[in-house]
Amino acid sequence: MAEITPHEIQVRQVTHWQPTFTYSKPGEGGIYTFQLILDEGADEFVLTVENPDEAENIFDWLSRSAVVHFDMSRQVLLFGTRKTGV
């Protein structure tokens, strides 16, 4: 069986995350960033968001999800599984 290198892993678990806000100028919006620590530091990704509503949604989803994964190739956050109809 061939060994899989860390760069071949496309979906990783978000094990830690850190939100930040960078202020720009008065009357202008700032930049929200979410540093995603993947698989206990095996990799990381910085997600940049300009829209405050989108940033709030991402913050809420990350806060409320027991398990979060990140697809590195498609740059997609996967917020665990949930039972339908509940």
The pair of three-digit structure tokens given for residue 28, joined into one six-digit string? 């202008």
List, for residues 25-78, the tens digit of each pLDDT value.
Answer: 888 889 999 999 999 999 999 999 999 999 999 999 999 999 999 999 899 999
- pLDDT of the residue at 9: 72
C-alpha gyration radius of the chain: 15
Q: What φ, ψ does residue 75 adopt, rounded to 5°?
A: 55, 55
List, for residues 14-23, the tens digit of each pLDDT value.
Answer: 999 999 999 9
